[in-house]
Amino acid sequence: MAAAGGELRGRLAVGAIPTVTALDLPVLLRDYRRRHPKVGITLTSAGSDHLIERVRQGGADVAFLGLPPRAEPKGVRSRRLGGGELVAVVAPDHPRTEPESDLAGLADEPFIDFRAGVAGRVQSDEAFAAAGVRREVPFEVSSADFMVDLVRQGLGVGMLPAAYATRFPDLRVIRLRGAPTRVEHLIWQDRPSPAAAAFLDLIGERPGS
């Protein structure tokens, strides 16, 4: 709703995967709050599948997802924000020193990845399957930060979006031939509230949006 003087009010419920890289979400939220200080903002961090359902059910107005290239969110409005490859990350003292590998070259390594079946894991599983490579994933996590903590202890190889992996300069990055890829999506309800519409407008002002 808008106040009598035209000032935007209401609430904006945002959902996001933890590894958003297509835009700077904290800066975006800051700019939105400065522009519309009377709107109450909430943020939920979760997996893509959960966020799609939240937007469908009205629990979130907009959300930022990461999906395998051929996947499209269903039952919501959406647009693609960009895509990129995943890289392998290992502990600083990991015996592997090569800067690049194919997927078969990592077949004997234990992996740390998201839970089987969720969007963040599917993109990697599909790439390894397409390459005819069987891998073991003894450590399944629900957050990228936890993955990084386990990688730092030398417990296995992690898989992260290349643009997100740069946030952890202590980890060694191995670029992959035939790498898994993901696409980031913005989704929203079919009839966005005024607060949500203003947020979508702000994203549209960003270079490259």
In the block, residue with structure tokens 């078969």: 104
Q: What pLDDT, on the 0 to 100 scale, is given for residue 97?
A: 85
Give residue 70's pLDDT band: very low, low, confident or very high (50, 70, 90): confident
Of the candidates 71, 177, 158, 52, the residue with the CA atom closest to the CA atom of residue 123: 71
The overall average pLDDT reported for the chain is: 92
131-188 residue pLDDT tens: 999 999 999 998 999 999 999 999 999 999 999 999 999 999 999 999 999 999 999 9
Give residue 7's pLDDT band: very low, low, confident or very high (50, 70, 90): confident
Q: With H, G, I as helix, E, B as strand and everything else as coil, classify residue 153.
A: coil
Give residue 19's pLDDT band: very low, low, confident or very high (50, 70, 90): very high
**β-sheet bridge partners, residue 102:** 177
- Number of neighbouring beta carbons within 10 Å of residue 34: 8
pTM, two decimals, is 0.88
Give residue 4's pLDDT band: very low, low, confident or very high (50, 70, 90): very low
Residue 1 has pLDDT above 60, yes or no: no
User: E strands of 2-156, at which residues?
Assistant: 10-16, 39-45, 62-67, 77-90, 100-102, 110-114, 136-141
Task: Output phi, psi for 32, to 5 deg.
Answer: -65, -45
Q: What pLDDT, on the 0 to 100 scale, is given for residue 3?
A: 46
Q: What pLDDT, on the 0 to 100 scale, is given for residue 209?
A: 53
Q: What pLDDT, on the 0 to 100 scale, is given for residue 54?
A: 96
Mean pLDDT of 77-103: 94
Give residue 194's pLDDT band: very low, low, confident or very high (50, 70, 90): very high
Of the candidates 111, 129, 124, 115, the residue with the CA atom closest to the CA atom of residue 50: 115
Of the candidates 16, 9, 55, 47, the residue with the CA atom closest to the CA atom of residue 203: 16
Residue 5 has pLDDT above 70, yes or no: no
